[in-house]
Amino acid sequence: MASEHSRALRILFLCLVCIGLGQSMLFSILPPAAREIGLSPFQVSTIFATSAALWVFVSPWWGRRSDMVGRRPIILVGLLGYALSMSLLATMIKLGLAKLVPAVTIYPLMIASRSMFALFGSGTGPASQAYVADRTSATERTAGVALVNAAMGLGETVGPGVGAALAAIGLLTPLYLSSALAVVSAAMIWFYLPEKEQPQAHLVERPRRLSVRDPRVWPFLLVATSMQAVRATTVITFAFFLQDTLTLTAQQTVQYSGIGFVTLAVSGLFAQLVVVQRFRPPARLMIRIGTPLMLAAFVLFIIGHGYATYLVALTSLGLGIGLVRPGNAAAASLAVSADEQGAAAGVVGGVSVIGNVFGPMLGTKLYQVVPIGPYLLNAAVMTAVLVYLYTNARLRTRR
């Protein structure tokens, strides 16, 4: 049984790595391709924003659905939906670059193609996390959830390098490859992922809908949304911040920011794949250690005056996120009953995407006023989260 459990985790890990790989390659390919098609940066942002907005509403539904029909079918739907979305989007880009379809027509088609990922692909995450929750004890939960979360991060880390190598064959080759990998991953799930025992919610026809205001999950939803917002704000503004504060050329900015993003990603992976897997800390302890680390990162951004200081800040931020993300997800899982695992994962993972939308919007506005504005905002947000963690009665008393 232990070997079967380990194999299942490895399969899920590889499948989620493939998704993270494709996502990071898309982020590097779409902007320059869209500019050549004739789309503005704002139009490019709306392609992602539309998908994110749909994700908020659809992901919780898929999570609840997995409580009824099982985790494996929803993971399969998510992977195949992701494959369809990537192949359609790559085809739309190809048609636009060849000038076979005008930009005014390609733009809504690209939005629709990307939205397929939100409509169907958003089920993979909550169903995968719920699958782990179904098969782990309370003491094993954080390590299992950390492994699932680290998979996407690993794919996002190696994605730019893989995409750059494949782009030498053809600009859209990485996107078509990621679509093919998702189909292969779906086949692995179908043939090799065991699900002999169904979730308890199969005993009922319709599981109770988990509200975002449910006191059991609300604290963790707040933490997840705040974490998503400050991370996204940092990623969006970091290159501009380096160029303006260190007076860098465009080429230097790309090099320096690239090193910074690798530092952020590797630090997060170290926390999830080494610290959590080795020491198995309790979920609440991970949140209480990770949150001050994230706050310290933004303080360093505010008071620092050199590139080395900013790298230390990114290391602290990566370690903090690497602890908070799986700790918070595991805590939310442990806060609800066995027949609500999919619903909880869908609500926390889906609704928290709001942070990715509004955090960068407000942060970039503040950046136009003062370069450290986004980091002042992030520091304020994490200070509020830290105070909440230590004053909320439910979080103080929960084991």
| pLDDT tens digits along 108-156 | 999 999 999 999 999 999 999 999 988 888 888 888 888 888 888 888 7
Please calculate the CA angle 250-256-259 and round it to the nearest 5 degrees.
140
Burial of residue 122, with CB atoms counted within 10 A of its CB: 0-12 exposed, 13-18 middle, 19 or more buried: buried
Mean pLDDT within 77-90? 96
C-alpha span between 228 and 40 (Å, rounded): 25
Residue bearing the bigger pLDDT, 196 or 40: 40
Please calculate the CA angle 357-116-22 and round it to the nearest 5 degrees.
75
Helix H or strand E segment including 230: helix 218-246
| pLDDT tens digits along 165-204 | 888 888 899 999 999 999 999 999 998 887 755 554 444 4
In whole numbers, what is the pLDDT of the chain averaged over residues?
Answer: 88
- Among 17-21, 40-44, 289-293, the range scoring the smallest mean pLDDT is 40-44
C-alpha span between 27 and 73 (Å, rounded): 28
| pLDDT tens digits along 301-354 | 999 989 999 999 999 999 999 999 999 999 999 989 888 999 999 999 888 888
Q: Is a pLDDT exceeding 50 seen at residue 66?
A: yes
Within 10 Å of residue 336's Cβ, how many Cβ atoms? 19
The domain made up of 2-193 is a member of CATH 1.20.1250.20: yes
Q: Is a pLDDT exceeding 70 seen at residue 396?
A: no
Please give the C-alpha separations between residue 153 and each of 97, 179, 260, 278, in angstroms, as whole numbers.
30, 18, 15, 18
> What is the model's pLDDT at position 206?
58
For residue 289, name the pLDDT band (cuts at 50, 70, 90): very high
Fold of 218-397: Growth Hormone; Chain: A; (1.20.1250)
Domain-by-domain residue ranges, the chain? Answer: 2-193, 218-397
For residue 88, name the pLDDT band (cuts at 50, 70, 90): very high
Helix H or strand E segment including 355: helix 354-369
> What is the model's pLDDT at position 201?
44
Per 3-state DSSP, the chain is made up of helix, strand and coil in percentages (nearest 5) of: 85, 0, 15
Helix H or strand E segment including 165: helix 138-167
DSSP per-residue letters across 100-115? SS-HHHHHHHHHHHHH
C-alpha span between 247 and 237 (Å, rounded): 15
> What is the model's pLDDT at position 202?
46
Residue bearing the bigger pLDDT, 393 or 138: 138
